[in-house]
Structure 1
Amino acid sequence: MSSLKFGTSGLRGLVTELPDGVCKAYTLAFLTHMQKVTGVTSDSTLLLGYDLRSSSPRIAAACISAAQAFGMRVENCGPLPTPALALRALILKAPAIMVTGSHIPADRNGLKFYRPDGEIDKIDEAGILAVLDLAMEHPITPDEPTTIMPDALQNYINRSIAVLKPRALAGKRIGVYQHSSVAGDLIVTILQNLGADAIALGHSDIFVPVDTEALRPEDVAFAEDACRKYKLDALVSTDGDADRPLVADENGVFIRGDSVGLLTAHFLNADAVVTPVTSNTAIELSNLFAKVYRTRVGSPYVIEGMEQARADGLKRIVGFEANGGVLLGSPVTTGGGTLDALPTRDAMLPILSVLGMAASKDVAISALLHDLPSRFTRSGRLEHIPSTASDPFLQGLLDSARRDAFFAQVGTIRASDAIDGVRVVLSTGEVVHYRASGNAPELRCYAEASNDSRAEELLQWGLKQAQEALSLPS
């Protein structure tokens, strides 16, 4: 059975399930659907970008070939962050395809589709599948290399520099953990333009699956060692396609993505925050925002929430996910100018917001969390859990008696919901939440408590409990 499917952020699957014919078929289906619903014509321009996975250039070439066969011009934006491609698409009001598997392992990849007005939604996904013809014969055509155009990347650099005042980071020593992120060099350039002493570290020619919600022990150790060795004020990084940030403080301790999002929204003076149920409850408890909207996990749902916030009359709308990716739902004025709305996950905006907030307050990065409610979230995952196993597990927890028995070891349940998976709030206010990943065969577990050690204790309990329930080996 194929693992290729639309998840919380585009089409994902094994590289072996993305041969040229399949990539071409999905490209043609996307363009056919765009022709129906947005007025895109066969002589319009398609934007194409990709990350640094070894399979990405080949998949990108197949998509370009299909678009050219459809009659479209193609602007090859080359390797660049997903939000940079999305920004270019909004500027040109053109459709776009990003070849990326984001943070998932190198044996997987995917396609992320953009309408001329932003990310596709679940209705668009259904429309693409409705016209998809995987049986179509695609003639073998000779490679026609397209020149890589730098405009998309430069637009994004200019936008990022405008987040802060000129030389706002002067005197700051910031490490950039490059690994195989498509933004590895770009982050250094942006930080240097803002006056920082930016130090490139840890570059890898082999793809590294950095997941900002489930960091590898070696990433944690790398941050601690680098901050100590180079006497850094912060260490920053992203996932593979640079739509999820990583920010470590001066001690090399990574700040949770939802806390990064909260700080970013505060820095941007947001009056509305839109975030999934996996983000911690410090967002509400902080009383920093006029309204908080909770959604299912996935950028399409956050975008829906931001649209609702606009309909409700909110003016400065910031969305973010627990992975730290920030979606800007409205224009905002910053120290360096005005940023137009960019309703797709972005890593540079939160990185610069956190660094800029600490610099403007003249405090260490770690001090930014001192004024926030004491809520700590930990997350982990059980890998290689197909939906045929996770679905019955989650379905079983919908039964109140089974749910009470399952969680009896850690306390009584005060409330529960099934907005996305199964989330319970214990009588202590602590939270345990299970959901199946939309991007990979994984069962994710989230735990929230008033201190970090208790959150970690709950997480480990939750993973062990689920492992036993699924009859997995220890």
Structure 2
Amino acid sequence: MTSGSNTLDPANLHAIFKAYDVRGTVPEQMDEALARATGNAFVQVLGAKTVVVGYDMRPSSPAMASAFAEGVIAAGSDVVIIGLASTDQLYFASGHLGHAGVMFTASHNPAQYNGMKLCRPGAQPVGLDTGLAEIRDVVAAGTYVTADQPGSLSVDDVLEGYADHLLELSPVRGRGLKVVVDAGNGMAGLTAPVVFDKIGRVVEMVEMYFELDGTFPNHEANPIEPANLVDLQRAVLAEKADIGLAFDGDADRCFIVDEGGRAISPSTLTALIAARELAKNPGATIIHNLITSRSVPEIVTELGGKPVRTRVGHSFIKATMAETDAVFGGEHSGHFYFRDFWRADSGMLAALYALAALSETDVPLSELMAEYDRYPTSGEINSTVADQAAVLAEIKAQYADRDGVEMDELDGLTVSHADWWFNVRASNTEPLLRLNCEGKDEATMAEVRDAALSTIRKN
């Protein structure tokens, strides 16, 4: 295929094809030419006979999704368009229909970004080690194929089926709850009304920013940043709500806020969901990434489960879940993965687990979650660093000879002690070093955090 698009330049392709997705700015790094070429290469590399295509509310998403479909059809494979969707809705379509899939979204990234999340049938992930690098290289080579018999195009609305499946996995049937939902102008504005309407009288929903708007006029749809939770926290207090839910742009992540407006750590929610899964599946394996609180493996072990530690990122989590037949996996970033949801992540399903647990009790959310929250954490602290490798090497040298300290490089650098731990890793999507740390008490955590930050930020 010939094109004058700079997005097909090999240097650009290496920049935007990340560890487990494609992500870049529009139109400088991503455009319709790239989407079309990627769709064609997707069929060439993976041999997909049918591809489900979904997209989020970003202004550039519909046109790029259409171009991707053109590339698939030219290669001789069929396309099923599900239209506007959350990422976990696309995963549902892939699993339920048994087709490969692509979701056009840049998740929590600012408005100028877009991206592609690719999967095999059954929502199996496609990362750099599992086909994404080959797809990138086919695009770079300009090998665009045109089949003698082009594929077909059809449309399917899977939203109702998606909502029904989630509520089969986690029905919410107890006492009535008042729930504030901040969709951040993202795809939860589409999915939440359908899901919560099916719950019925148990949930009284207060909507925030449900208008689909990929320019994010109210705040960035990235609830891991405390500033983006402020509006929800105020609303929960003003409404005297039982719980607040905040979703990211493509609604595959969910953060929760208690009745006092306090943000609940995703690690704490991971521990709660793990406990509920282990009650249904005694002795089961639970996955947690290496930045999750120590409370998660402790609680899993206490409840008779088997905790397994893994790298950050959905393709790594899903692969480990497949290897171990884990029933559930949780990440510090608000991603929650379920074996019965094709090992895919679903922010809405995680929210339903929290609502189900809360509706079964007579206590407020803060009291319910207290038993799963054992250690103070720093949250994720990002720093822009010119030479990331040099900083990691310096930290490693600083702690190499300290008594009681262990280090590993499963993902970035993790430094561990009986009383604390911290991890420093490079972002897969942005030019940042990310620091997460935890201590036995607030003072210990703060001391470890400040020491690590002093090294990171002096470079």
Please state if 1:28 is matched with 2:40: yes
Q: Which residue of 2 aligns with 1:376?
A: 376
Q: Between the two proteins, what is the percent identity of the paired residues?
A: 22
Please state if 1:6 is matched with 2:6: no
Structure 1 residues 229 and 461, CA gap change in structure 2 (3 angstroms) = farther
Give structure 1 stretches of 5+ with no counterpart.
140-145, 311-315, 330-339, 406-410
Q: Which residue of 1 aligns with 2:7?
A: none
- Distance in 1, matches of 2:382 and 2:259, equals 31
Deviations 1:231-285 (A, max 9, x none): 1100112111111111111112121112212211212225211121011110122
Q: 2:114 aligns with which of 104, 109, 117?
A: 109
Contact 2:86 2:191 in 1 (8 A): no
For the aligned residues, what is the CA RMSD?
2.6
Contact 2:270 2:296 in 1 (8 A): no
Offset at residue 397 of structure 1 (A): 3.1
- The 5 A counterparts of 1:309-328 are 309-310=324-325, 317-328=327-338
The amino acid that maps onto 2:93 is: R
The amino acid that maps onto 1:306 is: M
Offset at residue 136 of structure 1 (A): 5.6
The amino acid that maps onto 1:393 is: V
Q: Bigger CA drift: 69-78 or 432-441?
A: 69-78
Deviations 1:118-155 (A, max 9, x none): 2124232233234333546899xxxxxx775312x222
Please state if 1:423 is matched with 2:435: no
Q: Which residue of 1 aligns with 2:221?
A: 210
Structure 1 residues 453 and 260, CA gap change in structure 2 (3 angstroms) = farther
Offset at residue 373 of structure 1 (A): 5.5
- Distance in 2, matches of 1:184 and 1:422, equals 38
Q: Which residue of 1 aligns with 2:4?
A: none
Structure 1 residues 169 and 12, CA gap change in structure 2 (3 angstroms) = farther
The DSSP-based 3-state class of the residue aligned with 1:241 is coil
Give structure 2 stretches of 5+ with no counterpart.
1-10, 147-152
Contact 2:189 2:209 in 1 (8 A): no
Contact 2:181 2:246 in 1 (8 A): yes
- Distance in 2, matches of 1:382 and 1:350, equals 25
Structure 1 residues 242 and 453, CA gap change in structure 2 (3 angstroms) = farther
The DSSP-based 3-state class of the residue aligned with 2:360 is helix
Q: TM-score, normalised by structure 2?
A: 0.86
Please state if 1:163 is matched with 2:169: yes
Contact 1:22 1:134 in 2 (8 A): no
Structure 1 residues 149 and 307, CA gap change in structure 2 (3 angstroms) = closer
Please state if 1:226 is matched with 2:235: yes
Offset at residue 203 of structure 1 (A): 3.8
- Distance in 2, matches of 1:380 and 1:460, equals 13
Q: Which residue of 2 aligns with 1:68?
A: 73
Q: 1:393 aligns with which of 381, 391, 394?
A: 391
- Distance in 1, matches of 2:445 and 2:259, equals 22
Deviations 1:187-238 (A, max 9, x none): 233223223001101345333533343x142x23212211111111001121
- Distance in 2, matches of 1:201 and 1:345, equals 23
Please state if 1:443 is matched with 2:437: no
Q: TM-score, normalised by structure 1?
A: 0.83
Q: Which residue of 2 aligns with 1:465?
A: 455
Please state if 1:284 is matched with 2:297: yes
Q: Which residue of 2 aligns with 1:408?
A: none
Q: 1:275 aligns with which of 278, 288, 293?
A: 288
Moved over 6 A (4+): none
